[in-house]
Structure formats: C-alpha cells, structure tokens
Amino acid sequence: MNNVSQLQISVIIPTLDGGDVFADLLQQLSLQTVTADEILVVDSASNDLTCEVAKEYGAKVIDVARADFDHGATRSMAAKEARGELLLFFTQDAVPAGNDLIEKLIAPLLQDDTVAISYGRQLPQRGASLSAAALRRFNYPEQSVVRQFADREKLGLKTAFVSNSCAAYSKAALEEVAFFPEKLIFGEDTCTAGRLLQNGYKVAYVAEAEVYHSHNYSLSEEFRRSFDIGVLHAIENWLPDTFGRAEGEGLRYIKYEIGVILQQKKIHLLPLFFCRNFTKFIGYKLGSKYDTLPRWLLPRLSMNSGWW
C-alpha cells in the first residue's frame, strides 16, 4: 500500500512487441516515489520478449488475440479486472521523465473528488522532428489546468482532450460511464472524458507529470491518422456537436507551428509544413465523409486498417 493514500493503484499497459522502450517504461515505473500495487500488461501476441520482460518486473500478463484487440473494450476488460481504485494507463512507448510521475499524476484525484481523470505532459523524444516536437508542445503546454464541462464555450473540443498514453482515472467514475466505449476506431479516452465531463466531473492536465512520447509520422501516416480522426468525429458526432469542431483547434496549431518555424529560422521547412498540413486536412475531410467512399478503399486510407 502506498503511504500517500489508502487507495490502491493499478497500472494498465496494452502491448504489442514493446521492445527496449517498454523495458525502459517498466524500469522507470519501478523507481517511482509512489509505486503501483499491481501492473497489468495486456499483450496482443507479441513476437519479442515483451511478456518475459513484463513478468520480470512482476507484472501480470493478460493475453488477447491481435484480432480481438479493441482500444476501448481491451482497456475496459483490464480496468474491471484491476483491483486498484486508481487506474493508470500507459502506452508501451511512453517513458516517465522523472521518478515522481505517479505521485504528481494522481495528486488531483486525491485532492478533489470531482476530478475523474488526470493526464500528464508528453515531451518529444530524442530525435523528434520539428513538427513532432511542436505538436507535443502545443497539445501539452507548461501550465497545468483543470477543465470542466462549462469550459467548452471557451476551449471547444480541447475541453475533452486527454491521452491514455499517460493518464490516471478514478475507477468509480469510470464505472459510472460503463468504462470505455467499445468498437471505436480509436479515441476511447476523449469519448470517455466527454461523458465524464457531461456527468459533472473534471479533467486535470498535470504538466509536472512528464513522459517522453512522440512520433515522427511520414506524410502517409499523417494522412491516415487524420482520416481516422475524421471517422471518429463522424461516428461519435455527439463529441464535436457538444464540445465543438476540430477545425478551429487545427487552425490554431497551424499558426503555432509557423511561429516555431520562423522563430527557429528554418524557412526551408515551410514547403513540407504546408504539404503535411494540407495532407492532414484532406485526410480529416475524407474521414468525416467515410460513409460515401467505397468500402474496399477504407482500410487503405486508415491507420487502423484491421478495424474495418
């Protein structure tokens, strides 16, 4: 039991061929000032040593077939099995930047019963491209904040933004909304946050709880990820209808990245910048109209091709 609280803490990590970075994550979790009471690793038939490494660190491994993995349902299954009242979710490639991550991440949940979710700051990994680093700094600024449903008038869709790459949940609050929605292409975290905000709960962004986590996406990957976001917003249309459209946040990010490019005097990156953001725009628009496209084409446009 952790001395900061009488609540038990469960860490849940979905994995698939986690490699060395997954081992780094487990190593950093073992060094925390507040350690988890249990670690549940939900593995989708890894071909490397992911399961063996997990067991070396005392984690319980739950096996799921790759074909059965579902962003929401798989996390819900693990959450229901977990014995902790506080549930911490990580992705296999999000590595704590300090040994007080858990302590800082759970603090808002311990201090305020109306906070249902807290999520940490994601820092760009070593070798991150300018665009990857700028996106992390835009989405995860230096200032912590607590958001509630009324903030949607000012913040729009950003109100419901969270990331299960590094997030802590009240299990009791999760139970109130039947855990995570199933059969989503992705975005189970944002949809759950939206439901919890509607129920009167708050979401805390904890800038002091830092993990290293970023991706250098290719143009095709940028397109496919944006396509999937468009699909999510089309299917779960209550989310943009309730909190606001994604386009406004996209325009704010474009202005932000242009400022970063100019500040760093890397004007030569502007053609790629415009190409990448146009690609993302087209991907999102096509995704939002996915039901008008040929069925055979959809998996080829998506980052989650198996979902189709």
DSSP 201: -
Alpha helices, H only, 58-113: 71-81, 101-111
Q: What is the pLDDT of residue 247?
A: 72
- Token readout for 235 is 């299917």
Any idea what the Cα angle at residue 199 is, between residues 151 and 136, rounded to 5°? 50
- Summarised one tens digit per residue, pLDDT across range 211-241 is 999 999 999 999 999 999 999 999 999 999 9
Strands 166-170 and 86-90: antiparallel
- Phi and psi of 165, rounded to 5°? -70, -25
Provide the β-strand partners of residue 210.
Answer: 121
What's this model's pTM, rounded to 2 decimal places?
A: 0.94
Q: Tokens 């939002």 correspond to what residue? A: 288
Sequence letter at residue 87: L
Kindly list the distances between the CA atom of residue 235 and the CA atoms of 33, 150, 174, 256, 285, in Å, as whole numbers in the listed order.
Answer: 41, 24, 22, 29, 13
| CA pair distance 194, 44, nearest whole angstrom | 28
pLDDT band for position 76 (50/70/90)?
A: very high
Interval 135-155 mean pLDDT: 96
- Summarised one tens digit per residue, pLDDT across range 172-202 is 999 999 999 999 999 999 999 999 999 999 9
Taking residue 178's Cβ as centre, other Cβ atoms within 10 Å add up to 11
Any idea what the Cα angle at residue 155 is, between residues 151 and 160, rounded to 5°? 75
pLDDT band for position 4 (50/70/90)?
A: low
pLDDT band for position 103 (50/70/90)?
A: very high
pLDDT band for position 2 (50/70/90)?
A: very low
Interval 144-155 mean pLDDT: 96
All structural domains of the chain? 9-212 (3.90.550.10), 219-307 (no CATH)
